[in-house]
Amino acid sequence: MLIKVDQNVCIGDGSCVMIAAQSFKLNPDGKCYILNEDLGPEEKNQSGVVEAPNTVTMDPRDIIIEAARACPVGAIHLYEDDLSEISL
Ligand code: SF4
């Protein structure tokens, strides 16, 4: 699974962090980012969109999907390994 978070859309309410704390975290600026990703904070903020492939240390798939569904502004997008988007 590929996870993308659009920081331009994120309002920092923390719903995703409460559900999937192994996968999402809030930056000091109140924007969500993805744990276990390779990108540094500067790169994340430049593009405004962060993405990360799933890893064994992240939350289970169902929890990540639940967290994405809980986002009040639809800032989280999930994709299968073939890059087809998972409908939420
Ligand atoms: S649930 Fe959505 S708006 Fe809230 S912190 Fe996560 S990505 Fe941002």
Is residue 16 a contact partner of residue 27, using CB atoms and an 8 Å limit?
Answer: no
- Mean pLDDT computed over 33-60: 62
Whether residue 52 is contained in a domain is answered as yes
Beta bridge partners of 34: 24
Task: Kindly tell me the burial class for residue 68, based on how many C-beta atoms sit within 10 Å of its own C-beta (0-12, 13-18, 19 or more).
Answer: buried
pTM confidence score: 0.84
Q: Taking 80 as the threshold, does the pLDDT of residue 72 lie above it?
A: yes
Report how many domains make up the chain: 1
- Nearest residue (by CA) to ligand 1, atom 2, is 71
* Confidence class for position 17, pLDDT limits 50, 70, 90: very high
- CATH code, domain carrying 44: 3.30.70.20
Mutation test residue for ligand 1: of 8, 34, 71, 88, the one with most atoms within 8 Å of CB: 71
Pocket test residue of 15, 18, 69, 77 for ligand 1, highest count of atoms within 8 A of CB: 15
Which two three-digit tokens encode residue 3? 């996870």
Residues of the domain holding 57 = 2-79
